[in-house]
Amino acid sequence: MTVKFREGATPGVVPMLSIGPQHDRPQKEGVKLQVIDELCVGCNYCLMSCQDDALIVEGICEVLLDKCTDCLRCLLWCPTGALVYE
């Protein structure tokens, strides 16, 4: 489903982003990607940017932690700041 959504999404192709320096990733054990539900507007930008199919957006975003590779693309594309590491 995610591939079909990406192909038909209105914002167009999400450009490749170079991954930032290693210090951009979480440095503490137990820190994981989470969604601040109050900030998520269900825009699907995170879903379009995720190459690992680690997100589901059904109203609001949900992170599939077992698939997340901490590439940071979703954080860079989230317009509301709803994705955070905590």
Q: Which domain holds residue 27?
A: 2-14+23-85
pLDDT tens, residue by residue, 22-74: 445 565 677 888 999 999 999 999 999 999 999 999 989 999 999 998 888 89
Query: How far apart are the C-alpha atoms of 73 and 71, rounded to whole Å?
Result: 6
Are 32 and 86 within 8 A, CB to CB? yes
- The CATH number that applies at residue 43 is 3.30.70.20
In b/e form, how buried is each residue of 36-56, taking b as 16+ CB within 10 angstroms? Answer: eeeebeebbbbbbbbeeebbe
Q: How many domains does the chain have?
A: 1
pTM for this predicted structure: 0.67
